[in-house]
Amino acid sequence: MRLLVTGGAGYVGSNVVWALHDRGDDVVVYDNLRQGHREALPPDVRLIEAELGDDAALDAALGDGHWDGVLHFAALSLVGESMQRPFHYLTENAGLGIRLIDSCVRHGVGRFILSSTAALFGNAENTPITEKTRIDPGSPYGESKLMIERALHWADRIHGLRYACLRYFNAAGADPEGRSGEDHRPETHLIPLVIDAALGLRPEIVVFGDDYPTPDGTCIRDYVHVSDLAQAHLAALARIEAGSVTYNLGSGSGHSVLEVIRSVERVSGRQVPMRIVERRAGDPAVLVASSSLIREETGWTPRFGQLDDIVATALAWRKSHPNGYGNAG
């Protein structure tokens, strides 16, 4: 297949690009490299360095021959920042995402995969969260993804654009072969932050709140290995031949912030310094997603089901890349 991947030099996007490349697809990445890294991509994959909001660049890319599909990862993704800059997130994520969908329709692209989020569900009343759980975004970030999902609904209904919305919350881990890992500037994901604290690359880990209605008082999240997420995107590409789908991706069981810290301590053999502060706005107490539907319909099964296994791949990558992609150790 010939596929365009927006945001493909980012964390999840690059792992999907590697998975597509490994199976022989012709992949082109469209990324502004503000959060992404050229070094995260296979050396022979073409990179178009451009803004998603650059209509001329986007039209030129989509007009360059036939595309079997577009996979869309490019987005702002910080829940806390979205609470401070709501309209910036709605404009950048929803606005540009909808313009991308419109461009796909105009250029005859038949398939679209959206990297969505479990943040659509806010404070879900029941867990694990299924595709039938009531949608109630707890942040402008979640709202922006919902707006793109609704645009895809109409693109299918009116223009026949088949799509898959893949809702997941915490991608984690690194490529088992060491080809790609997390290198955000600044880093905001919990597991790499805890690992950095364990390795002495940061002074401590800050825990936002220990008074949530959970067993240990800290937030519970669902962690899915990034390589498993990549395989889910490949499964969804095949599945939408029969029609558009929406899938939740998760392990069905979550882990609290303190449990993640203990996992890093077990795997690394080091103590993690931490400090507990007040809650952060927009953070639900529990977000755990069920992946029963995608398992039943596609046969997708995660390889990395244990938190310690996920942490081990992230730790190995960080040890070999103490300064990220800028300077591998």
Q: Which helix (H) or strand (E) holds 287?
A: strand 286-287
- The tokens for 13 are 């996007």
> From CA 113, how far away is CA 156, in angstroms rounded?
12
Task: Give the residues across from 3 on adjacent strands.
Answer: 27, 69
> From CA 259, how far away is CA 253, in angstroms rounded?
12
End-to-end CA distance of the chain: 35
- The tokens for 23 are 């199976």
Distances (CA, A) of 308 to 35, 126, 141, 255, 311: 27, 26, 29, 11, 5
CB-facing half-sphere around the CA of 177: CA atoms within 13 A: 8
Can 325 be counted among the known catalytic residues?
no
Q: Which is the catalytic residue, given 141, 163, 212, 223?
A: 141
Write the DSSP assignment of 11-70 as a string of letters: HHHHHHHHHHHHTT-EEEEEE--SS--GGGS-TTSEEEE--TT-HHHHHHHHTSS--SEE
> From CA 116, how far away is CA 110, in angstroms rounded?
19
> From CA 162, how far away is CA 321, in angstroms rounded?
39
- The tokens for 214 are 């959970």
The residue behind tokens 């809650």 is 279
Cβ atoms of 101 and 149 closer than 8 Å: no
> From CA 147, how far away is CA 135, in angstroms rounded?
12
- The tokens for 261 are 């810290």
* Phi and psi at residue 153, to the nearest 5°: -55, -45
**Residues taking part in catalysis:** 141
